[in-house]
Chain A
Amino acid sequence: MNEGNLFFLLRAWLWLRRQARPTDVQWNLVMAVLVGVVGAGLGLLFKAATLVLQEMLTGVAGGGLAAFAELPPWQRVLVPTVGGLMAGLTLMLGQKLVKQKPTEYMEAIRLGDGRLPVKSSLYRSFAAMLSIASGTAIGKEGPLVQLSSLAASILGQMRKFPPARRRLLVACGAAAGVAAAYNAPIAAALFVSEITVGSLAMESLGPLIFAAVASILTVHVFSDASPLYRLEHFALPHWTEMICFCAVGIACGLMAALFLAMLEQIKKWFQKVTVPLAGKLALGGLLVGLIALAHPEVTGNGYDVLKSLLHGETVLQPGEWLWQAVLLILLARMVATSAAFGSGAVGGVFTPTLVVGACTGSLCWQAFAVAFPDLRIDQAGFSTVGMGAVLAAATQAPFMSILMIFEMTLSYEIMIPLMLASVIGYYTFRGLRIHSLYHHGPPDAYDIFNRPLETLTVADIMQTEPRTIGPEAGFGEVARHFLVEGFDRQYMIGPDRKLLGVVRLEDLAEHLHSRSLAAAFIAGDIAHENPPALDTRTPLPEALVLFTHEHEHELPVVRAGTGELAGTLTRNDLLLTLAEAGKRMAPRQ
């Protein structure tokens, strides 16, 4: 490319930049799209790998509940047991290599300061894959979310993002994972906003939506992304029927509490068992296998059971669901899932929670159908609303739950009873004062957002590796840097890395096409000397004051004492950090 072309390109680029004024907030959107595509790709790979592993373990092709039900009884017991043993051995081996963190359900990512533990995320995902493939009663979507977030975290660390932006990027990874797992991009963005970030502010919601959309589009390219549980016929309920849905909301709130209490209780029982983790997981697998002898429906995440409940046919043989069957499935599912998690298996708990909801809704319908013979709404409607209500209660994230069910069923009419029951379920559960499903234990010590705000300094949250240039660099080189790197500041440093000045794009913007200037001018001619700068030891509130005074969106950071350029800090990163740290300072409910 010759100089003339380069300058023309640069002018066009600058014109665009002046019109669009992209800030680091807008760059976050671009990164979010990248994370979305990568996250979806990883999700698809994980799904394919799990299927292959499942075929190896069971010897039956196709996967899913049908495959498992084909197995002879001894294999139904053996496969989850062996799978549990293998998953347990993987976990034990992993723990030897990496320090283990307390088990959490995998959908909920701890964002921290955006540095996810790579090795432990990988071995936990592999252990989850073994558990899932062997039919253990856990959700298979958790590892998808985990891997997608991990990819985002690695990307953020490679790009040397400051903590606040790295954190946002990991949240985008989680949203991409959820979107790919449930074919539900709107709910994915809200899942992460409501549960993980804990805010619906547009600063974070925007990138999350971009990541979710990019992810679902990627899934569309490579596989089928139709709604998981499409609901065909559902008429808007009469107002009298809405009273029934209020009852469903209350029942679901209570059932969610029962399910969570069971998860906790069985975990406590397993903690008393003094065998190695592999033994515990094998025991958990054995329990699931024994229940599966009579009810193979309990294996896996419960996708097939949900489908059949929503289509009104029993899962393995054609026929209507009887209330006894639904109740049995509900109890067996709660015990099996609790046994799996209690034994220490890692995985997701999202779809099992939906099964609990669908069964609860279905049982309510059975009762109402007897009490009110002219009830027009069928079991599918009640099961769907039940799913949403239990989800809203257990996760304590009603917005996400309502939209998740909407996206899974794509039925608009269901929204009205769904909204009603979900909010009632949410408040019923909240009244019981139990920790929600994704409630996090004590936070990680390495997470800088947990340090007291007054101990944080600019060095903790700045972006390292700033764009630098020497004072002798020619005008052409400065211009090229602006073009290639897309920033609007370059920091001029001396041979000792001392900050000498800042070159501002807006000073150069109108003159870039002058070739004569390129011959006669150097960075030193156009840099502002002694620019306002932050010190690495500057406390954050003081940094905010300087930003306000200088009307700058980015300031250089110099090392205390030496005046060496250490990094840069943007106003947005500072605000994100203050918001997050401030939120954690607020008394918890």
Chain B
Amino acid sequence: MAVSVNLDLAAVDAADAIRQLAASLAQMPGVADGTRLVTDVLAREVVLPTYVGEGVALPHARTDAVTTRVVAVARSPQGVPFGPKGELAHLIVLVGCPRQDVSSYLTFSRQLLRRLRVPRVRTELLTVKEPAKFLQLLELNDEAPAGSAAS
């Protein structure tokens, strides 16, 4: 699984954030078509915004643009308007998943969302300095190849 981290994201809106996060994945192994990844995640976001509350957003798509699951995590200190009423997201996780992969897609997203529901975890995520620690809090570090945990 390819993972990218950006602890200081600045984006004007959800679409901008998604473009930036997807761009950080474009050169990763497992991404067959970076442009397509952006289009598909944006298209999905239009149908129903993925803001889940508590300053967390999970833009995602099942798409042919990737051959394995890819994840881009970002922290935005000033926040990105993501919710249907313009709610600000400070923690944004973009997930791209191969099309045939319904069940593990749900398993992975659920684990991620479960971590993000814990207030203590969210507080720490908003303060940690090291990308590795950030991934560890999300329990993503085991899966991430060593070299990819930099932005």
Contacts and interface: CB of A to CB of B under 8 A. Distances in A.
25 contacts: A471-B47, A472-B47, A474-B48, A506-B103, A507-B102, A507-B103, A510-B106, A511-B110, A514-B113, A516-B110, A516-B114, A517-B106, A517-B109, A517-B113, A519-B52, A520-B50, A520-B52, A520-B113, A521-B106, A521-B109, A522-B48, A524-B44, A524-B47, A526-B106, A529-B99
A443 B91 CA distance: 71
B73 to A, nearest CB: 15
Given A508-B106, A511-B110, A526-B106, 5 more contacts: A507-B102, A511-B106, A514-B110, A524-B47, A528-B102
A interface secondary structure, majority = helix
Interface residues of A, number: 21
B109 A520 contact: yes
Contacts of A526: 102, 105-106
B58 interface: yes
A504 to B, nearest CB: 8
B117 interface: yes
Please tell me the size bucket of the interface on B: 20 to 34
A525 interface: yes
A277 B43 CA distance: 73
Nearest to B50: A520
B62 A525 contact: yes
A88 B50 CA distance: 73
Nearest to B62: A525
A511 B117 contact: no
A480 B145 CA distance: 39
A516 B62 contact: no
Interface string B5-33: 00000000000000000000000000000
Nearest to A504: B102
Contacts of B114: 514, 516
B106 A519 contact: no
Nearest to B64: A529
A585 B106 CA distance: 50
B123 interface: no
Contacts of B100: 528
B60 interface: yes
Contacts, number: 54
A514 to B, nearest CB: 5
Q: In this complex, which of A504, A511, A521 has the most chain B Cβ atoms within 10 angstroms of its Cβ?
A: A521
A226 to B, nearest CB: 57
Given A517-B113, A529-B99, A511 B107 contact: yes
Interface in A360-406: none
Contacts of B58: 520
A516 B102 contact: no
Nearest to B113: A516
Contacts of A506: 103
A238 B105 CA distance: 76
A507 B47 contact: no
Interface string B93-116: 000000110110111011001101
Contacts of A525: 44, 60-62, 105
A525 B43 CA distance: 12
Nearest to A516: B113
Contact of B106 (A471, A472, A507): A507
A517 B105 CA distance: 11
A63 B114 CA distance: 74
Contacts of A520: 50, 52, 58, 60, 109, 113
Closest 5 CB pairs of A and B: A516-B113, A507-B102, A511-B106, A514-B110, A519-B52
B54 to A, nearest CB: 10
B53 interface: yes
A504 B106 CA distance: 13
Nearest to B61: A525
B100 to A, nearest CB: 8
Contacts of A517: 106, 109-110, 113
Nearest to A511: B106
Contacts of B47: 471-472, 522, 524
A456 B121 CA distance: 62
A249 B148 CA distance: 90
Contacts of B116: 516
Nearest to A472: B47
A524 B105 CA distance: 13
Contacts of B109: 517, 520-521
Interface in B38-73: 44, 47-48, 50, 52-53, 58, 60-62
B48 A516 contact: no
A510 B48 contact: no
Contacts of A528: 100, 102
Contacts of A529: 99
Interface string A449-475: 000000000000000000000011010
B107 A510 contact: yes
B28 to A, nearest CB: 22
A517 B106 CA distance: 8
A524 B47 CA distance: 9
B129 to A, nearest CB: 27
Contacts of B117: 516
Q: In this complex, which of A507, A520, A522 has the most chain B Cβ atoms within 10 angstroms of its Cβ?
A: A520
A296 B60 CA distance: 86
A520 B111 CA distance: 13
B44 A516 contact: no
A136 to B, nearest CB: 66
A516 B99 CA distance: 21
Contacts of A511: 106-107, 110
A514 B106 CA distance: 10
A379 B134 CA distance: 96
A539 to B, nearest CB: 30
Interface in A491-541: 504, 506-508, 510-511, 514, 516-517, 519-522, 524-526, 528-529
A531 to B, nearest CB: 12
Contacts of B48: 472, 474, 522
A171 to B, nearest CB: 40
A504 B100 CA distance: 13
Interface string B127-151: 0000000000000000000000000
Contacts of B44: 524-525
Interface string B74-104: 0000000000000000000000000110110
Nearest to A530: B99
B61 to A, nearest CB: 8
Contacts of B105: 525-526
A472 B52 CA distance: 16
Contacts of A472: 47-48
A503 to B, nearest CB: 9
Q: In this complex, which of B60, B99, B102, B114 has the most chain A Cβ atoms within 10 angstroms of its Cβ?
A: B102
